[in-house]
């Protein structure tokens, strides 16, 4: 068996995606990268809104779309057209997984909800990604990443201590929800292998947010206290944060008493290890401001490289704060081979963070053009209303 075959455990699985933007497309992108055939259904003419989410663009299409949709096939369908809906139902009847994150209620209005499609194909895994959840008073509410970050409480714990609340800079909920959706689909496929029966999988950005917050939520329920914001630190572990140096910042992770004792020696304050204010993590949390003020003054006297060298030599976990160019230039980044070239394009993207028997699933082909595979799938442009022809 070839290495590429070993790294595609979902080969033979057929997926239909009606997705927009990031969360739904990322769910099917994961399945595609693991070997599944993914047919992406798009609007004729404009397609997935994320095609226009730029700049930046790459060969006329937003890089967001390129990253979320490589390896798929695109079929342009007008779901107001009975012929196109009938073709879609025929495709779903033979599919293993159906993934959608359209506006709540829109597919049900077209007769493409879970009850209809699962009756058509009892082996189908029907996966929906919602903003706030598949039930409750906000079930039908639309939502985007920053809205849900704010609603779920992520803003309240992010940002500098004395500054305003802030969003997490990357699409942590979109991508996380896509990941949960893919995991749910794979679990449902595993169960179907023994039962022969499909099921409905639901997840949402709000549920993902609460899952990411579960440690802090447990602490809040235990104490009733709202977590304080820590720009780079941790409210439960000291020293575990970025410290400013003479020319930058270094993250220091002295996460237990043994590592703190080493840090005290490197900082020239070995007596801190037995100081009644700092001798245990619990004490260090209680006297955090005092300890960090002293430690910060020491770190400002030397460069980031000097501190990194000294900390690493002492066996203390640490890391400089990199920008994207520095990350891409790291020997470790090159060694793990996670950046992969899209075939036929000089654009490198981040592949799946998984390897099978040492082989990472490959990027199979570029993101498709709108409706690129209509003729291959037997969808004639003549079946489209005149206003939608290209």
Spatial neighbors of 100 by CB under 8 A, at least 6 apart, are: 17, 18, 19, 24, 107, 127, 128, 129
User: 53: exposed, middle or buried (C-beta count within 10 Å: 0-12, 13-18, 19+)?
Assistant: middle
Q: What share of the chain is helix, strand, coil (3-state, %, to 5)?
A: 40, 15, 45
- Give the residue from 154, 174, 158, 161 showing the smallest Cα distance to 53: 174
CA distance 114 to 128: 9
The per-residue pLDDT for 97 is: 98
Residues 25 and 50: beta-carbon distance below 8 Å: yes
Kindly indicate whether the domain formed by 3-212+337-388 is annotated with CATH number 3.40.50.10540.
yes
pLDDT of amino acid 385: 42
**Sheet containing strand 125-130, strands side by side:** 73-76, 37-42, 14-18, 97-100, 125-130, 199-204
Task: Output the CA–CA distances (angstroms, integers) from residue 278 to 260, 285, 317, 324, 335, in the order listed.
Answer: 9, 8, 19, 36, 39
Per-residue pLDDT at 174:
96
DSSP state of 382: G
What pairing do the DSSP bridges indicate for beta strands 37-42 and 348-350?
A: unpaired
> Per the structure block, which two tokens stand in for 202?
């639901």
Q: Report pLDDT for 388.
A: 38
**For 249-262, what is each residue's pLDDT tens digit?**
999 999 999 999 99
With 0-12 CB in 10 A as exposed, 13-18 as middle and 19+ as buried, what is 334? exposed
pLDDT at 387: 38
Domain ranges of the chain: 3-212+337-388, 240-244+249-320
pLDDT reported for residue 6 = 65
> What is the rounded distance in angstroms from the CA atom of residue 243 to the CA atom of residue 34?
40
Domain 240-244+249-320: give its CATH architecture. Answer: 2-Layer Sandwich (3.30)
pLDDT at 182: 97
DSSP designation for 169: S
The string of DSSP codes covering 53-97 is --SSEETTEEHHHHHHHTT-EEEE--TTSHHHHHHHHHHHHT-SE
Where the chain has pLDDT below 70, the residues are 1-6, 379-390
């Amino acid at each position: 068996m070839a290495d590429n075959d070993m790294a595609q455990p979902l080969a033979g699985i057929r997926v239909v995606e009606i997705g927009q933007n990031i969360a739904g497309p990322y769910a099917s992108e994961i399945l595609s990268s693991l070997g599944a055939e993914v047919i992406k259904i798009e609007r004729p003419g404009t397609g997935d809104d994320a095609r226009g989410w730029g700049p930046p663009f790459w060969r006329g299409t937003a890089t967001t779309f390129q990253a979320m949709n490589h390896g798929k096939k695109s079929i342009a369908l007008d779901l107001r057209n009975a012929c196109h809906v009938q073709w879609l139902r025929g495709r779903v009847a033979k599919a293993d997984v159906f993934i959608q994150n359209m506006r709540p209620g829109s597919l049900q209005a077209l007769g493409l909800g879970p009850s209809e499609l699962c009756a058509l194909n009892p082996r189908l895994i029907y996966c929906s990604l919602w903003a706030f959840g598949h039930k409750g008073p906000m079930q039908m509410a639309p939502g985007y990443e920053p809205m849900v970050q704010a609603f779920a409480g992520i803003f309240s714990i992010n940002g500098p201590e004395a500054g305003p609340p802030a969003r997490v800079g990357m699409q942590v909920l979109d991508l996380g929800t896509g990941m949960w959706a893919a995991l749910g689909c794979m679990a449902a496929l595993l169960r179907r292998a023994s039962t022969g029966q499909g099921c409905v999988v639901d997840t949402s950005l709000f549920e993902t947010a609460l899952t990411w917050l579960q440690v802090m939520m447990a602490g809040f329920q235990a104490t009733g206290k709202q977590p304080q914001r820590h720009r780079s630190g941790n409210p439960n572990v000291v020293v575990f944060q970025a410290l400013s140096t003479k020319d930058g910042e270094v993250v220091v992770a002295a996460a237990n008493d043994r590592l703190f004792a080493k840090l005290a020696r490197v900082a020239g304050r070995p007596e801190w290890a037995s100081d009644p204010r700092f001798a245990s993590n619990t004490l260090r949390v209680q006297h955090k401001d005092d300890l960090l003020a002293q430690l910060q003054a020491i770190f400002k006297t030397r460069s980031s490289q000097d501190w990194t060298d000294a900390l690493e030599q002492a066996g203390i976990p640490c890391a400089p704060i990199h920008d994207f160019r520095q990350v891409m230039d790291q020997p470790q980044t090159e060694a793990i081979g996670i950046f992969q070239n899209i075939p036929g394009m000089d654009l490198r993207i981040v592949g799946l963070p998984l390897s099978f028997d040492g082989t990472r699933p490959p990027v199979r082909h570029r993101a498709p053009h709108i409706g690129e595979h209509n003729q291959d799938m037997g969808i004639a442009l003549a079946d489209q209303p005149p206003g939608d022809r290209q």
